[in-house]
Amino acid sequence: MNEKFFDLKKEKQDRMINAALKIFAENGYKHCSTDDIVKEAGISKGLLFHYFGSKIRLYEFLYDYCMRFLTLELKSAVSDSETDYFNIIRAQEQAKKNVLKSYPYLQMFIDRSSTEDDEMAVEITSDLRDELQSIYDGFLNQVDASRFKKDVDPSLVNSMLQATLGSIMADQLHRVSFNPDHYYKEGIKYINLLQNVCY
């Protein structure tokens, strides 16, 4: 992690992080401009490069920072003893809501990174992406699949629900003001609906 950067006041750190998350999430690594990041953050380009040195180092820092932040929230929210799929998903969404209150574009940034086509950006985040996937896989391994109706495939339910939640988030982020509580409440409606159909 960048020790010099963490000497800054938290408000300035978050302003720079949120600006970079937004621009990377919306444009992808290859088409992201550091000029757009500094404009969004309200800082000079020299200051950005003083703390991160290059665009790729900023991207690497952001991914590492997001992973640490999100992982901590997820592990705090999801109980090791929980076996109900929908309760696990609700807990994950609660964790995301908490994260998004500080960093609205964090999840979109992480999702976008999985489809990057820049070789260097893919390479430097590969291990962390695998680590995050293993956390989500671990949650799914806790699930008691016997609770689902016989003709319901839990993996298809999970794919459908994740796509739905991703679509809700994308829609919410494109509104004038993103509200994590609204995102969470909307997502819970679909989670509850699917639970009623699947159990």
pLDDT of residue 1: 55
φ and ψ at 104, to 5 degrees? -55, -30
Average pLDDT over residues 78-94: 96
Could you tell me if residue 19 is inside a domain?
A: no
Could you tell me if residue 5 is inside a domain?
A: no
Could you tell me if residue 68 is inside a domain?
A: yes
Could you tell me if residue 30 is inside a domain?
A: no
- Angle (CA) 76-23-169 rounded to 5° is 50
Could you tell me if residue 94 is inside a domain?
A: yes
Give me the percent of the chain exceeding a pLDDT of 70. Answer: 98
Query: In 10 A of CB 83, how many CB atoms?
Result: 13
The residue to which tokens 């929908």 are assigned: 86
Q: What is the pLDDT of residues 144-173, one digit of tens each?
A: 999 999 999 999 999 999 999 989 988 888
The residue to which tokens 């509200």 are assigned: 179
Is pTM, for the whole model, over 0.75? yes
Quote the tokens at residue 89.
């998903």
Could you tell me if residue 26 is inside a domain?
A: no
- Residue 175, pLDDT above cutoff 80: no
pLDDT of residue 178: 82
Cα(161)–Cα(183) distance, rounded to whole angstroms?
Answer: 14
DSSP run (H or E) holding 177: none
- Residue 97, pLDDT above cutoff 80: yes
Q: How would you class 104 by CB atoms within 10 Å of its CB: exposed for 0-12, middle for 13-18, buried for 19 or more?
A: buried
- Residue 73, pLDDT above cutoff 90: yes
Quote the tokens at residue 65.
């920072």
Could you tell me if residue 161 is inside a domain?
A: yes
pLDDT of residue 117: 86
Q: Give the CATH number, domain containing residue 111.
A: 1.10.357
pLDDT of residue 176: 66
- Look up the domain containing 133 and give its range: 62-198
Give me the percent of the chain exceeding a pLDDT of 90. Answer: 81
Query: Which of 120-124's residues contact partners 24+ apart within 8 Å by CB, and which partners?
Result: 120/56, 121/29, 121/30, 121/56, 121/59, 124/56, 124/59, 124/60, 124/63
In whole numbers, what is the pLDDT of the chain averaged over residues?
92
Query: Which of 44-50's residues contact partners 24+ apart within 8 Å by CB, and which partners?
Result: 48/16, 50/4
Q: Total structural domains in the chain?
A: 1
Could you tell me if residue 27 is inside a domain?
A: no
